Amino acid sequence: MSKECFKRVYVCTKPFMLMIFLQTSYAVNGLVVKSALNKGLNHYTYAVYRNAVAALFFGPFAFFLERKVRPKMTISIFMKILLMGLLEPVIDQNLYFAGMKLTTATFAAAMCNIVPAITFVMAWILS
């Protein structure tokens, strides 16, 4: 294979390879969390730690990269963002981990595909 052909194949398959990597990491995460839940980890504690680590990791990126492109913050927009930010991750993760504790990791991973639909309905109600 020539270098040009390899580069073309790489460019064409890159999104698919990244999606396979993402889905594999979701599966591994599900198995690790299921194992920890079976050994006695409280799913509320795990959800709090997960959100805290995500906020510490993504907060600086959002602050420095997005601060000049944000629209003007109004009270209405702030309240909607606050409500969605508090309810969606909390409800989603606690139900996901509680379901995983009571069922299998496979079933929980399959049911998490409904999250975008629930997010859409909540956004539609609050808009």
Per-residue pLDDT tens over the stretch 37-71: 889 988 888 888 888 888 899 889 888 888 777 77
Question: Which tokens go with 79?
Answer: 């309240």
In the chain, where are the structural domains located? 3-126
pLDDT value at residue 57: 92
Region of 52 on the Ramachandran plot (φ > 0 left; ψ -120 to 50 alpha; else beta): alpha
Contact 126/80 with Cβ under 8 angstroms? Answer: yes
Confidence band for 34, pLDDT divided at 50, 70 and 90: confident
DSSP state of 103: S
Total-model pTM: 0.62
State the Cα–Cα distance between residues 3 and 13, nearest whole angstrom.
Answer: 15
- Over residues 84-99, the mean pLDDT reads 79
pLDDT value at residue 1: 64
Residue 110 pLDDT greater than 80, yes or no: no
Question: 9: Cβ–Cβ under 8 A, 6 or more apart, which residues?
Answer: 1
Least confident of 13-27, 57-71, 89-103, 104-118: 104-118
